[in-house]
Chain A
Amino acid sequence: MATVKKQFLNHNKLDKVFRVICVSAALLICLILAGVLVQLLYYALPAVKRFGFNFLVSSNWDPVNHIYGALPAITGTLLTTAIALLIAVPVSFIVAMYLVESASPYVSAPIGFALDLLAAVPSIIYGMWGLFVFIPFMQKLVRIMTGITFNGYGFLTSGIILALMILPFICAIMRDVFKMVPPVLKEAAFGAGATSWEVTCDINMKYGAGGLLGAIFLGLGRAVGETMAVLFVVGNIQAVPRSLLSSGTTIAATLANNFSEAEGILKSVLFELGLILLLISLAIQIVAQLWLNRVRKQMGEK
């Protein structure tokens, strides 16, 4: 009896230690985020003070006269991300749907394996491939299709490469989401006379809404902050996008290009750009959460 009690006490102690470890690990996450924010803000302060709100809407980037504007980098980031999502989301949706619903195991297993492998390819490989293979291809493609001499570097090229990069991520998660839909639901729907398309729309999509959205936002998060692959193919100039074929930059590419040589106000400007990137990611997360809550409510979950 006594030994049992002792053991019980020990367990109690162990539980407490475990709790402390868990809580401190969780707190550490908050601390890191807060630390990053404070650090970025601290170093960005000189630039914030100097350029104010104008920083966000000015496209003047003049290192000689120390005048900087973030509009090209911000718009470039948003445009490349939008192109990437527009291509990657529908394709991954269809691929995931096919893999789960209609492909035979002999087909879906190797494709699924390839998908997981693609997700593990480092981004610099995509960048190199983009530079040496895709850019010459785009030059020819655009010339043949439109007759325009296109140098190959720009937002469209970057967007397509980003799409290829995030596609495996989105697709792998969507596949898992579709897999989790209870077969009973689908069978019931088919039994009630629903078509494949109706089952996809009304059962799979609704049931997995949260997961699908999560997949999209994971891809989006990667596309927003991607550096190396974009750096190689975006053209690296401080210009607001004029067309899909025009060259420009993104926030991450601007940081990578300028950081090693930055001093004085430029360094502060780069920290402010970093802060903006972080805030964009945060805003995306918040919007995603809100949207998710709304979808859940519509579905009757409380």
Chain B
Amino acid sequence: MKRMLIAGLAATAAMSSPSTSAATLNGAGASFPAPVYRIWTYNYKQASGAKVNYQSVGSGAGINQIKSKTVDFGASDKPLKKVELDQAGLIQFPMLMGGVVIVVNVPGIANNQLKLDGKTLADIFGGKIKKWNDPTIMKLNPGIKLPAMPVTVVHRSDGSGTTWIFTTYLSQVSSVWEKQVGSGKAVKWPVGIGGQKNPGIANNVKKIPGSIGYIEYTYAVESKIPTVQLKNKAGKFVKPNLNSFQAAGANADWKNAPGYYMVLTDKPGAATWPITGVTYILIHKEQRDIAKAKTLLKYFDWCYKEGAAVAARLQYVPIPKPVVEMVEKNWTREISANGKKVWQP
């Protein structure tokens, strides 16, 4: 018995020792960029040997965990305001941009065939438009035969950064929505049913004929659900893809955004996808361990430079070079461990 116990203890010690000795970075947060982060962590382990764990637990949880220092970095789709960042001693920088797309399950409607504008979308999610052959939808889609099927709205049941991006857009394009519902990681949905996370929405939309939902683009591509064209601020109908997400980011003025606080919904530009979002990384300005802090920043540097190709393949927009340079200058200026600068360019 005693021998077994000792053997057991030795085994656990043997199992736990590598993870404490080698550098392991722990991160948690947004599920929106999780598909990319998953591949990045794998590739980075192959390239450098450093292990990165990323838990896609949701933006709010990510913010909570980095604030309480249970992880080395947090990730959020909803940027924190400069005041909140300073209070918590955090620094925030953009990591990726991506699109939130509208998916539908209407019999006879193919991928990117249906066209909607912001106001109609707000009316659908607000419960004012109840049937697919509603005159408002018909008018936007001449020549398409729409069934007299009831509309079922599918939204997120959990709090989510994706919901924040989507409801921010609806509030921008519809004053009725802004007044009655507003924007947030969770809102008081007037109609519909809820699904857990992005896969939950994909599943529910697939299961229910006549349903419409919003989802991160990669999930729509993976689950092969038809997406919808949207009318942007310039009055043009655009298809959701890497180009239209990139166009949204092109007009962003990062220089004059304190704490990189940036909202990319309803941006100008003829090719701009109207529901684009930025996803952020949050880390503490004052790091405890200089070696670990260096590994951490080296990882993000790798993500910006080597990881960009992977991101683009998954339909996420990498952060443009000038912005990366700005961010890394910020690292040099603001991040320190025991009074020493961590990042030397």
Contact = CB atoms under 8 A, between A and B. Distances in A.
A264 to B, nearest CB: 10
B193 A235 contact: yes
Contacts of A135: 207
Interface stretch (A8-16, A59-67, A107-115, A212-220): A59-67
A146 to B, nearest CB: 15
Contacts of A247: 193
B158 interface: yes
Interface string B9-50: 000000000000000000000000000000000000000000
Nearest to B188: A62
Given A151-B152, A152-B208, A63 B159 contact: yes
Please classify the interface of chain B as helix (H, G, I), strand (E, B), loop, or mixed, using the class held by over half of its residues: loop
Given A149-B150, A260-B60, A236 B157 contact: yes
Interface string B143-162: 00000011010000111100
Given A235-B194, A236-B157, A237-B193, A258 B186 contact: yes
- Which of B63, B158, B193, B207: most chain A Cβ within 10 A? B193
Interface string A138-168: 0100000000010111000000000000000
B79 to A, nearest CB: 16
A39 interface: no
A135 B184 CA distance: 30
Contact of A236 (B63, B183, B193): B193
B182 A64 contact: yes
Interface residues on A, range: 20 to 34
Contacts of A131: 203, 207
Contacts of B210: 149
Contacts, number: 82
Nearest to A267: B64
A209 B203 CA distance: 45
B300 interface: no
A262 B184 CA distance: 12
- Which of A61, A152, A153: most chain B Cβ within 10 A? A153
A151 B59 contact: no
A151 to B, nearest CB: 5
B159 A153 contact: no
A260 B61 CA distance: 5
A263 B60 contact: yes
Interface string B206-245: 0110110000000000000000000000000000000000
B274 interface: no
A100 B244 CA distance: 68
A64 B187 contact: yes
A261 interface: yes
B343 interface: no
Contacts of B183: 64
Contacts of A238: 188
Given A65-B182, A237-B194, A261 B60 contact: yes
Contact of B211 (A151, A249, A262): A151
A261 B185 contact: yes
A154 B193 CA distance: 9
A240 B254 CA distance: 45
Contacts of A232: 196
A25 to B, nearest CB: 22
A231 interface: yes
Interface in B52-87: 57-61, 63-64
Interface string B174-212: 000000011111111100111110000001100110110
Contact of A258 (B63, B152, B159, B204): B159
Interface residues of B, number: 34
A63 B193 contact: no
B159 A64 contact: no
A236 B196 contact: yes
Given A61-B188, A63-B185, A153-B193, A260 B58 contact: yes
B187 A261 contact: no
B189 A261 contact: no
A187 B112 CA distance: 74
A231 to B, nearest CB: 7
Interface in A42-65: 60-65
A63 B158 contact: no
A142 B59 CA distance: 38
Contacts of B204: 153
Contact of A257 (B59, B157, B184, B189): B157
Nearest to B193: A235
Contacts of B184: 63-64
Interface in B286-306: none
B59 A231 contact: no
A35 interface: no
Contacts of A263: 60, 63-64
Interface in A18-40: none
A122 interface: no
A112 to B, nearest CB: 36
A237 B203 CA distance: 16
A260 B208 contact: no
A136 interface: yes
B196 A136 contact: no
19 contacts: A63-B184, A63-B186, A63-B187, A63-B188, A64-B181, A64-B182, A64-B183, A64-B187, A131-B203, A131-B207, A139-B207, A149-B149, A153-B193, A235-B193, A236-B194, A237-B192, A237-B194, A258-B158, A260-B61
Interface of A: 60-65, 131, 135-136, 139, 149, 151-153, 231-232, 235-238, 247, 249, 257-258, 260-263
The list of the 4 closest CB pairs from A to B, nearest first, reads A261-B159, A236-B194, A261-B60, A236-B157
Interface of B: 57-61, 63-64, 149-150, 152, 157-160, 181-189, 192-196, 203-204, 207-208, 210-211
